[in-house]
Every structure is written in structure tokens, then in C-alpha cells.
Structure 1
Amino acid sequence: MTRGMLTLPEIGGQAEALSAAWEHLKGQQDWVEQYIGNSAYDEVVFIGSGSSYYQAQAMATTYRLWIGRSASALPSSDIFLFRDQSVARDRSILLVGVSRSGESSEVILALDSVKELANWSTCGITCYEESRLGTMTACLVSPLGKEKSTVMTKSFASMTYMMQAAIAKKAGVAFESQMESILSLHADVVTRGNSFAESLVEDNEFNKYIYLGMGSYFGLAQEVCLKLKEMSYVWTESYGTLEFRHGPKSVVEPGTLVCLLVSEQARSYELKVAEEMKAYGAFVLLVTAARGEDTSFADAVFEVGGQSLSDEARAVMYLPLLQYLGFYTAMKRGVDPDHPRNLTQVVTI
């Protein structure tokens, strides 16, 4: 079997997966009103494991900002093993399970653990409507998110986008318009990200990889860090951008790739961190809405566009390039990104 024959087209197919999610969501307005739009809940808790937990972080951040109500993101295991330490008692809670397969043991155990509790309600999002998650609670379903490869790529993008679009439908027309506009921009980002990542990997040798992000991009930084680690087996780390300066920056030296997911909200602060890492000898890659004089110091800059959009709406546009980076690093190292060692598509306990 040819290495990468599953993963490469799945990364390349995510623009179509986003469009399908948008169309499918139009028929699930009742779900939006009953769950995301229901003001009866004191808090919405998004849960997932691995990549799905990182999705949950982006979803919760978007919900807090756009809806203006309390939301949090937790690993699934925190709910069934440490629920009272994780969520305050005697509050009305909506628990949102996030799972590509809908079969993750920890998500299922978490939802099962609260089903008899009077003040807890559940729902979810998945790519498989006939899965355990899809049949045990009401779910949004990303119709083209299904994948054959082990690592999550288009499923991550489409599920994150679909939940953000559901939040936007309750938040108002302006937010909904932003999410719709992503559909016209995303295919170009996928195409350009492929060639950009291939050249970046071919032309450089890195021995350390650091991903930085804040706000809505913190969970994404963790996710793209994981993608590189899963596909290529290289050691890599992720941090909140300004937090990286408080000790971890000691690892930076020549041969280190520092990749910064640049927000518009904190752009000036984030770019100061990137400049500092450049001075320590790092190769600095900026993924940003638009380049400018303030990004001229960087070794590489990838523009995603959509500068007029909010950081939250633009989030999924940061994924293709950095998924491709993991893919081409794996290919250069002679390993198969389709079937990473020690990993399975569904994790059970």
C-alpha cells in the first residue's frame, strides 16, 4: 500500500466537508434551539478526548464570546472520574459530547455517568449517525467528515466548523454571515497550503517543533502539534503564545521551528514573542490572516485571508497548511501517516 494514500485526499477534501456540514445544519435548526440556543442551561460543557478535546476548546471559546454565556471544555474522563471537581454542583448543565467515531469509550462513559442526574442534559456532534453517541443522544452529524485514515483531519475541520456555525445561528445574522463566508475562502487555503507545506518541509531540516496560539487558537495549536507527532513521530510541543516566554523558551535554538497561529485580537503581542524566538535562532513560521510590515522578520508567512472576519470564524482556515506540514514531514521521514504506530482510529478502555 502506498504511504499517505488515505490521509492526503482527506486533508484535501475538507472544503467539501465544510460545505456539506453547512447544508446539513440547515435541517437541524430545532437542535440549535433546543441545545445551543437554550438559555435554561447555566453552563455548556464540551467534552472530548485527544483531538476531540482540542475541538471542544475551540467550541467553548466561540460559545462564550458569541453567545455571551458560560461554557467550558474538559477531557471526557474528567466528567466520569472527577465530575464534582470539574463542574460546580447544583447547576443546570448541558454536556456536549464530541467524537469523530461516536464510539470513544471515554465520551460514552461520561454521557452515561450523568444520564440519571436531574440537572444534566446531553447532546453531541459526530461523523457517524449510527454510532453509540449518535444513537444515545441528539447529535449534529458532519456528513462528509468520515475518514479511513487514523488521524483526524477533515473530520476535525468539519466538526469544529459545524458546531461554530450552530453557535452562529443563535448568535445572530452577522456571525452566521461570517461562517458562510468561510466556505468561499477555504478551498483556496487547502490548495495553497499543500504546495506551501511541501516546499517548507523539502527545503528545511528541523529538530524541534513548537506551536503557539491564544484564544480560539490555543486548542488549534495543540491539535496541529498532535498531528505532526501522530503522523511523523517527531517530538513537538504546544503552548499559549505568551506563556511560552515563561520558561519553555529555553529550548529554542537553531533548528527549532516555531509556528505561531496569529490572531488579530492579540497580533502585536504575539508577533513580539515571535520576534524574540527569531532572535534566539528559531525558524519562525507565521500563519496569519494577512502579512504586513510587522511580519517581515519571519522566515515564512502563510496568509489565510478573511482579515475582516473574527478570529473564531477564521479558525478552521488555519488547519490545512499545518495538517499538510505533518503529512509531508512523515513522508520525508519515510513513515506512513495513514497508519501511525501504536494508534487506532477509535480508542476504547
Structure 2
Amino acid sequence: MNRTEQEILSQPEVWARAFDLTDQARELLVATGEHVLAIGCGTSAYMAASYARLRAAAGAGPTDAAYASELPPARRFDRLVAITRSGTTTEILQALRGPRIAERTVGVTAVTGVGLDGLVDQRLVLDFADESSVVQTRFPTTLLALIRAALGEDTDAMLAACREAVAQPLPVDPSQFHHFVFLGTDWTVGLADEAALKIREAAQAWSESYPAMEYRHGPIAVADSRSLVWMFGEPPAGLVDDVRARGATVVTSQLDPLAHLVVAQRLAVALAQARGLDPDNPRALTRSVILDPSA
């Protein structure tokens, strides 16, 4: 079993450990009444987007999300939350070193003793969720599970769903498809983006992601009998039938959407193995993007 697969399967235990930090997450990430900006790169940017939708929907306060390289211009926030597994990503550090746009800054990482340490006011460290794999799996899901717990969601239900996600058979054989599409609504759009990224990173395959209702607005034109369309949460009315009419295979699930992302992670690893690839060593990727300051 490769490292990536081992880390995927460890998620029920890792989520359970994270729930011990619910009070700290409520203080640092919920911060009721404040205007929050969450930033990240890659996977962390997708988790920032999901976090923003969840926090705002829970009534904790206005919440924006942005790529660290594309900060909103000329705005002030009460709190900036920087999500970065490694704490060394260049764009995150540059954003924090730039003009201060928030009264308070919080860093969320899986490690300490890195460049981020001196650039934020407070830290949330999920070191038990760190990964040796380049491809992120358990760190982002653990963070999002913890955020949901801090917002008052049922931790027992989340854990039960995660255990099911690592134990159930995959819903399809991914080697039968050449095109993968992931769709979400509201906070699960970030999950769809992340699932598509896992397919690209681990299996070097053609994958896309969209808000579910946007899929009919052009992207559905390339769906065919070798397309797999994976939907997070409850599909919009009529969409499943529209996709199947194109000959594509549709996967839906009653499983908690975050747990359904865990199943999608397993799908990406299975596809990589079917293609003779090593998901622990994805092409052209490193654990952290660190840019040459002279470039």
C-alpha cells in the first residue's frame, strides 16, 4: 500500500483527534461577528472557499475566500486566515509580508518551525494530520471537518460517514473512463474542485469541476460514454437525467459530502495504479511551491 493510500485510510482516526480542538477552532476560525478573509493555494484555496461558505451560512459573519496570489484590492478585514499545510508556500508568505489588510492574522498549518511562524498573530497546528505524500488528502479534510465541528455540526455523524467512506467499495472502476467531472453546490463546490485536482495530481488524467448548475452551460458538450460525472450532495433537479442522456456515467451518494470526497481520493489513487503511476510521486509536483525570489 502506498503512502497516499495509507493516509487516506487513516482519516477517521485523524478526524477524531481533530475534534479535540473544536474549542480552539471556534475561537480562531469561527470568530463570530467578524469579517473574515480565508486564503490558500491549490488544495488550501479550495478548502478556504468551502470554509467561507460554511461560516457565512452558519451566521458567524461575512466570510470571503481568495487565492493568496489574488488578494482582493483595497479592503480591510477583521481577521485573515491563511491555510497552508507546509507553512512555506511562497504566495502565502508574500501575502502575509505585504500590506496588512486584517486586524488579526491566523495561520493554519500541519507543521511549526517554518516561515509562517513569525508572520501571524495566532496558530492552529494540525500536526497529527500532516502527510508524507505530496498529494494532500487528510490535512484538508481534517481541517474542514474541524471547522464544521466548530460551527456546531454532529461529529459522531461525520465520523461514521468517514468510516464508511474508507470501507465501502468504489462505486465504479475508474479505468473505464478517460474524462472525470466533479460537480458541487454551495460549500461542496470546493470539494468538487479538490476532487478534480486529485485526479490530475495522482493520475495525470483529464478532470474538470464546476458548480452543478453551471455544467449545462457549455461543459456538458464534451460528456460522452467514457465520462464519469461525480456529484457531491443532492443533485439539482433534472441534472442527472441530462448528463445520462449524453451517455455519461453519473455517481451520486447519500454519504456526507466531505466523506464522499474521501471516496473520490480513493478513486484517484485507484486510477493512478490502473495507469501504472505512482501516486506518491506525482509528475512535476513538490510538497510546497517555493519560488525563486529573484525570478
TM-score (norm 2): 0.91
Using a 3 Å threshold, how does the CA distance of structure 1 residues 144 and 334 change in structure 2: closer, same or farther? Answer: same
Tell me which residue corresponds to 1:47: 39
Give the deviation of 1:105 after TM superposition.
1.1
SS in 2 for 1:224: helix
**Partner residue of 1:20 out of 17, 27, 39:** 17
Tell me which residue corresponds to 2:205: 234
Amino acid at match of 1:156: P
**Partner residue of 1:8 out of 5, 10, 18:** 5
Residue 192 (structure 2) pairs with residue 221 (structure 1): yes
Give, in whole Å, the separation in 1 of the partners of 2:117 and 2:13: 22
User: How many residues were matched structurally?
Assistant: 290
Give the deviation of 1:180 after TM superposition.
4.4
Alignment gaps of 5+ in structure 2: none
Using a 3 Å threshold, how does the CA distance of structure 1 residues 64 and 114 change in structure 2: closer, same or farther? Answer: same
Give, in whole Å, the separation in 1 of the partners of 2:54 and 2:130: 24
Amino acid at match of 2:167: T
Residue 63 (structure 2) pairs with residue 71 (structure 1): yes
Larger helix fraction of residues: 1
Residue 242 (structure 2) pairs with residue 276 (structure 1): yes
Using a 3 Å threshold, how does the CA distance of structure 1 residues 318 and 135 change in structure 2: closer, same or farther? Answer: farther
Larger Rg: 1
Give the deviation of 1:271 after TM superposition.
4.6
CA deviation map 1:248-302 (0-9, x unaligned): 1110111111111123xxx4xx25112111011001111x22xxxxxxxxxxxxx
Residues 277 and 284, structure 1, Cα contact 8 Å, conserved in 2: yes
Residue 161 (structure 2) pairs with residue 201 (structure 1): no
Residues 142 and 162, structure 1, Cα contact 8 Å, conserved in 2: no
Structure 1 residue runs of 4 or more that deviate by more than 4 Å after TM superposition = none
Give the deviation of 1:120 after TM superposition.
3.3
- Percent of aligned pairs sharing the same letter: 29
Using a 3 Å threshold, how does the CA distance of structure 1 residues 236 and 92 change in structure 2: closer, same or farther? Answer: closer
CA deviation map 1:147-174 (0-9, x unaligned): 11110011111112123323x1xxxxxx
**Partner residue of 1:60 out of 27, 52, 58:** 52
Deviates more, 1:230-239 or 1:105-114: 105-114
Residues 94 and 123, structure 1, Cα contact 8 Å, conserved in 2: yes
Using a 3 Å threshold, how does the CA distance of structure 1 residues 271 and 285 change in structure 2: closer, same or farther? Answer: farther
Alignment gaps of 5+ in structure 1: 169-174, 290-303, 305-313
Tell me which residue corresponds to 1:154: 138
Using a 3 Å threshold, how does the CA distance of structure 1 residues 6 and 92 change in structure 2: closer, same or farther? Answer: closer
